[in-house]
Amino acid sequence: MERNRQLRLARHIKEHEAVSLDLFNITEEDIPTPGEGQFLVKTEALGTSPAQRAYLMGRDSRFHPPLAIGEIMRGRGVGQVISSCHPDFTEGDMVACSTGWQYYSIQDGDQSKSPVKTLQKIHQPQTPHYLHLGTLGASGFAAYFGLLDVGRPVAGDVVVVSACAGGVGSLVAQIARLKGCRVIGIAGGPEKCAWIKDVIGVDEAIDYKAGDLADKLAQYCPDGINIYFDNVGGEILDLALKNMALKGRAIICGLISTEYEAVAPPGPRHYYNLIYKRARMEGFFVWDYFAEFEAAESDLMGWYKYGDLISTEKVYHGLESAPEALQSLFAGIAAGIKVIDLDR
């Protein structure tokens, strides 16, 4: 009889340590039974997110308490409701939610006490279902709301996207192109730059590891940057601020280059340019848009179905491959959105 298989945190990660299977204990338990107001989800696939490094570090992640040793690794997954004692969820429903790195999870349908709502019912499931963790899920929503609601692009805008070969970045670049913008993508290494040009369709690609980012930004954006979509922070954000156009918008999505450093680096030096360019820099949090996910999903799905938006999922296979998938995200090993198909 099948049992619930899990990856539990065996110890906290050290600074700059790679994410590996050694950090976890593999455990097995009986499949749990849902109580009143709960339902049981059989996970099909797991997503990855930079936020998971905070869990591995045992750090307070603002919306969750630190992950203790022995707990199941926290993470988002997509799966099917297979048994329910909740009036709003029935067997066969597809959901994306915080499943953790395990085969089965009990979900409490009541989100009223959660600081952020993350339990999402999928009304029009698309195959493969892991698309609802990436292109048609959290990555897609971050790209969609960050660019369209915070950035408010208009045709002809010059949009610069950092971590452009990553999950969110590769979707931002495509949506910006759909809106008639000129897109400059920043990525690490010649292979990723070729990929964002040939597959994602950016107008220009800049390899930030080549050492000429400042010159290339000035060359490709002679009239300045109208929208800078930032996934990385640090030096790249600073150079983008230096090159803002009048009334430019810097959208702060993430800061992966500095977020997990023990000592926070000095802040951007070029923020004075926000004054001279009457520009604005604004952060956003994708889960604040939870109530609008269904509308966004419908737009993303429409573009996806007509081939205007390509999905970039890079699929890893099996629960034990989850650490490798997450490591790939941090080390920038592969392009696209990293998901783990549990292959069950």
Ligand X SMILES: NC(=O)c1ccc[n+]([C@@H]2O[C@H](COP(=O)([O-])OP(=O)(O)OC[C@H]3O[C@@H](n4cnc5c(N)ncnc54)[C@H](OP(=O)(O)O)[C@@H]3O)[C@@H](O)[C@H]2O)c1
β-strand partners of 28: 5
Q: Pattern of binders to ligand X over 22-61, x per CB under 6 A? A: ---------------------------xxx----------
Could you say whether residue 168 binds ligand X (CB under 6 A)? yes
Cα of first residue to Cα of last residue in the chain, in angstroms, is: 14
Could you give the 3-state DSSP secondary structure of residue 65? coil
Point out which span in 21-29, 89-97, 122-130, 160-168 binds ligand X (CB under 6 A). Answer: 160-168
Q: Does residue 169 interact with ligand X by CB under 6 A?
A: yes
CB nearer ligand X, residue 40 or residue 56: 56
Residue type, 38: Q
- Residue choice 9, 23, 244, 256 for contact with ligand X (CB under 6 A): 256
Closest to ligand X by CB, 81 or 131: 131
State which residue, 232 or 244, has the beta carbon closest to ligand X.
232
Verify binding: residue 163, ligand X, rule CB under 6 A: yes
- In the numeric block, the tokens 């910006």 are attached to 176
Residue found under tokens 């820099």? 281
Burial class (CB in 10 A: 0-12, 13-18, 19+), 131: buried
- Residues 218-247 vs ligand X: string with x where CB under 6 A? -------------xx---------------
Q: Look at residue 96 and give its three-state secondary structure.
A: strand
Cα–Cα dist 117/76, whole Å: 12
> Of 168 and 225, which CB lies nearer to ligand X in the complex structure?
168
Binding residue for ligand X, selected from 188, 224, 268, 323, defined by CB under 6 A: 188
Determine which residue in the list 286, 319, 339, 340 makes contact with ligand X, applying CB under 6 A. 286
**292-331 binders of ligand X (CB under 6 A):** 329
Contacts of 317 (CB under 8 A, 6+ apart): 340, 341, 343
Binding-residue pattern over the window 59 to 98 for ligand X, x denoting contact by CB under 6 A = ----------------------------------------
How far is residue 167's CA from residue 319's CA, in Å, rounded to a whole number? 20
> What is the crossing angle of helices 293-305 and 167-178, to 10°?
70
Minimum CB separation of residue 232 from ligand X in Å reads 4
Report the phi/psi class of residue 235: left, alpha or beta, with left for phi > 0 and alpha for psi in -120 to 50: alpha
Question: Which residue among 5, 192, 216, 249 contacts ligand X (CB under 6 A)?
Answer: 192
Q: Which residue has the tokens 């926070």?
A: 264
Kind of pairing, strands 76-84 and 38-47? antiparallel
Tokens of 275: 């004054």
Query: What is the closest distance, in whole angstroms, from the C-beta atom of residue 175 to ligand X in the complex?
Result: 14
User: What's the token pair of residue 140?
Assistant: 């897609």
How many residues form the binding site for ligand X (CB under 6 A)? 26
- Interface with ligand X (CB under 6 A), residue from 153, 167, 268, 323: 167
Tell me which residues touch ligand X (CB under 6 A).
49-51, 139, 142, 163, 165-169, 187-188, 192, 231-232, 253-257, 284-286, 329, 332
